[in-house]
Amino acid sequence: MLMHGFGLSAVPEALPVDAAGWFALLNQNPLIGLTLLEVFDLVEYMLVGLLFLAMAAALWKDNRSAVLAAVTFGWAGIITYISSNQVFSLLALSEKFAAATSEAQWASLLSSGETLLAVYNPGVLHQGTGIYICMLLVPLAGLFLSLVMLRSHTFNKATAITGILANAIILCYFPVLAFAPSGLALPFVLSAPFRVVWYFLIALRLIKLGKETKSDK
């Protein structure tokens, strides 16, 4: 069932769970379909990866082994997510599905869609392994970097503590998934304010460090 309002012609009340549902949504409103398939998360994770590299450069002298581990974990998770997200493959299949003219073609395309959704499907509770690897490694990377910050003079304690809270709360996703799946959104909701503040504090400090570096030359 679809809701009509806010100028949007095809906003689903619930996410599709199968290939037919995603194809229908992508054909009816590609922007909404791509958004619900988390296409913007691809951009976000790339930006987070660049942020990790900038933080690593700033913290490198404080604890090289921990920083190296954090960047390795973070980028391994990011690459895993990018390779697992099937958004563009599903979009291409949906276009072929719309243009298909026979039952055999539709059946083949639906089968291919279900194969992709087995790897990545935001409409179901349990995702493919790649998504979980990302959701484990990226917050671990953030947690490692925040712990290095705590003993560093490069970033202040408020930034470090905010980062520890933001990433530790996200890691609670896994026990919630195992024991209380109805509250699965809770770790993201609780972590979000800390994460926004953490990114903001990091950005301010990196900008200041950049200005200090230029003035020293």
pLDDT of amino acid 211: 85
Residues pairing with 8 in the sheet = 5
As given in the structure block, the two tokens for residue 94 are: 């949906």
> What does the pLDDT profile of the chain (217 residues) look like in tens digits?
333 333 445 577 789 999 999 999 999 999 999 999 999 999 999 999 999 999 999 999 999 999 999 999 999 999 999 999 999 999 999 999 999 999 999 999 999 999 999 999 998 888 888 899 999 999 999 999 999 999 999 999 999 999 999 999 999 999 999 899 989 899 999 999 999 999 999 999 999 998 887 776 6
* Cβ proximity of 187 and 200 under 8 Å: no
pLDDT of amino acid 27: 94
- What residues contact residue 185 under an 8 Å CB cut-off, 6+ apart? none
pLDDT of amino acid 128: 84
Neighbours of 118 (CB within 10 A): 12
Would you tell me the crossing angle of helices 129-150 and 39-59 to the nearest 10 degrees? 30
User: Could you say which DSSP state residue 60 is in?
Assistant: T
